[in-house]
Structure 1
């Protein structure tokens, strides 16, 4: 029975190599399409949040000033995720911050990451774009709290993952669409996707 972690960060900017830090993290543990546990916390990394990012996320410097230290939050998050594989929307972004924040506390990461944005580009090429809110609107997925807050975005990514799994399974007569298949999709060209999925269906 596969359990995956669905991860989302909010941050002070786009790149940890430029000194940006995480301000919030949310993780869902999902087993057979059901959320079995949640982790969420603001985190204080001692980094000022620019005004444009405050407007985007609603996370203020005052909120961060009373939040737990980033080192504490990341140690707890790492224990929560354990060795589970991770899925995120625009996973290269979240993976960079996951790795960088863990490096700040002297912890290595061994997680495999897969990306719902890259998978959606292969399965929904007709979408206006492949941002998470756009896909949620197009596919009429449930929306929770404010966009650009970590838990709301993690929940939306989970709904997108479930829809991707359902559509792939139905369209290609596959019984199971697991993490490995999503990871394989993201490195397959769009033109090669039908052949890949048809070959997997033929093995059943």
Structure 2
């Protein structure tokens, strides 16, 4: 049985909006401020995650962002992302460059993702895809959250957990890891029996 793994970059106050500064958000670009050894260590962790994944699950905008930057990029990490099966939740046609092994998820997302968990053995990794992640969390379909926190307090911007419903969702911290001198990776799993 597959596991849905949400792997996200967030600020200390939970903002995920415009990490690279390309969306025009006044406080965007926070992801681009770290370099050197911290970035190299972060990249090694992300590559290992892609290497261990069985598939990617992405929203349409996140898919288009990744495809535009990774479809023709050289290197082992890019090769791994190209060879992974990619499932894209899209209500409109996909734009941008084609990427290998892409299937558009049609139908009701909760049913489709539940079926995907039964069919795919291994980790199904979700990057970005804020609206998709919120739907998955609201329907208890996330098996693990991996949040890489960046040392910024923006005070404004879209956050991950703004729209997952009023119910309390207890999580258990299963790992914390420092990434260089500035980042931290926190891994949580739902407490489904709590």
Shared fold per TM-score greater than 0.5: no
Task: Give the number of the structure whose residues are more often strand, by fraction.
Answer: 2
Bigger Cα Rg: 1
**Structure with greater helix percent:** 1
The TM-score, its normalising length taken from structure 1, stands at: 0.33
Q: Normalising by the residue count of structure 2, what TM-score does the alignment of the two structures yield?
A: 0.35
